[in-house]
């Protein structure tokens, strides 16, 4: 191989012929061989813009959230534990002592979540709901909670577990669900 071949060496510079690629009738520059890349031709037709509108930039969920993933995981842990304990309280076959223990455990998980939320101004709505639930579970014995109240509390906790970073509107829905379930959500300020 001659080192001068094709390397520029001492061969005089000349414009190389561009590769001729047959384009289909409907093709527009840039859309077939390099989709999304704007060319002079595609700019004129707006093809790039059309394509870019269909593929929206995806922001990873972690970036759209206000609360770090680690904090959310901790919240979920507390809520899951609380949901599990409440299921034990609702379990008809469990005896009175088991139920009382589970209720106490549920309360301690909520307490942990309450402590976790301290000093998080972005999570006001979550803090309000945890406070409401702590008040709802502040009873002498599990028997003081009617089945429909337990169902409502359990359902609200499960929804909070699904999304532990919610805002005022969701908190309003959850509060309404508790009230409709017969839970006296504002007992503490009465």
Partner 1 sequence: MSFVKLDDAHRPDSTEVFLDTSVHCCFHKGETLRPRLNWLLGLFSWKGTSTYSKVEYGNVILAAAQYYLRMLRELKSVARVLEHVGHVLAPQHREKRTWAFSLIQTLGKTEEERTRRAEASLRRLLKLGTAAVDARCDAPLADGTRCHWGRTGLRRGRDGKYTWKTPNCKSSNKACNVDGFFADRRETFELIKNTIDGLDASLLTDELKQFSRVIGEALEAPSMLLDYSCGCKLLADVLIAVDSIGYHNFATQNYRESQVLTKVLGQRCYYLPNNPENGVAILEDDGPNGEEFPTP
CB of 131 to partner 1, least distance (A): 4
CB of 124 to partner 1, least distance (A): 7
Q: In this structure, how many other beta carbons lie within 10 angstroms of the beta carbon of residue 131? A: 15
Query: Which residue's CB is nearer to partner 1, number 62 or number 176?
Result: 176
CB of 83 to partner 1, least distance (A): 21
* DSSP labels, 133-146: HHHHT--SSGGGS-
Dig out the tokens for 153 from the structure: 């509390």
CB of 59 to partner 1, least distance (A): 23
Q: Which residues make up the interface to partner 1 (CB under 8 A)?
A: 118, 124-125, 127-129, 131-132, 134-135, 138, 168, 171-172, 175-176, 179-180, 184-190
Angstrom distances, CA of residue 14 to CA of 3, 10, 17, 19, 96: 18, 12, 9, 15, 94
Closest by CA position to 185, among listed 112, 106, 131, 141: 131
Query: Which residue's CB is nearer to partner 1, number 47 or number 106?
Result: 106
Query: Which residue's CB is nearer to partner 1, number 51 or number 114?
Result: 114
């Amino acid at each position: 191989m001659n080192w001068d071949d094709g390397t520029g060496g001492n061969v005089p510079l000349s414009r190389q012929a561009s590769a001729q690629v047959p384009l289909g009738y409907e093709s527009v520059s840039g859309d077939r061989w390099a989709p999304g890349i704007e060319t002079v031709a595609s700019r004129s037709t707006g093809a790039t813009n059309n394509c870019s509108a269909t593929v929206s930039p995806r922001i990873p969920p972690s970036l759209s959230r206000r609360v770090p993933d680690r904090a959310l995981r901790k919240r979920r842990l507390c809520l899951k534990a609380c949901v599990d304990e409440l299921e034990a309280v609702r379990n008809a076959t469990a005896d009175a002592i088991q139920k009382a223990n589970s209720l106490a455990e549920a309360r301690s998980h909520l307490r942990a979540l309450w402590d976790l939320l301290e000093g998080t101004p972005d999570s006001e709505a979550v803090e309000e709901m945890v406070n409401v639930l702590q008040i709802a579970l502040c009873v002498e014995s599990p028997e003081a909670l009617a089945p429909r109240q337990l169902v409502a509390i359990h359902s609200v906790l499960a929804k909070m577990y699904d999304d532990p970073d919610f805002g005022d509107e969701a908190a309003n829905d959850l509060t309404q669900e508790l009230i409709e379930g017969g839970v006296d959500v504002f007992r503490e300020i009465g």
